[in-house]
Amino acid sequence: THTADLALIAVARRRVGVDVERVRPVPDRDGLVARFFSAPEQAAYRELPADRRHAAFFRGWTCKEAVIKAAG
């Protein structure tokens, strides 16, 4: 992860997945969306106003990472 000085600890009796990312410039954000997001996720991203896409990218990216980590 790219967290700068952030950390997260999860304590649970079952698998959990977490991801922490520092919101930062991403040079090829649209390319990452095209490569790693599903077709419906890509469509939802493209429908957002341009000024909301940066935050939406990080929300989608961290959710995907968390699910992958929970799955092991």
- pLDDT tens digits, one per residue of 8-41: 888 999 989 988 888 899 999 999 999 999 999 9
d(CA 40, CA 21): 23
Contact partners, residue 20, CB within 8 Å, separation at least 6: 1, 3, 6, 7, 8, 62
pTM for the model stands at: 0.83
Q: Helix (H, G, I), strand (E, B), or coil: what is residue 30?
A: helix
Say what the pLDDT of residue 62 is.
93
d(CA 31, CA 12): 35
Say what the pLDDT of residue 58 is.
95
Say what the pLDDT of residue 26 is.
94
Say what the pLDDT of residue 57 is.
97
d(CA 29, CA 53): 9
Say what the pLDDT of residue 46 is.
97
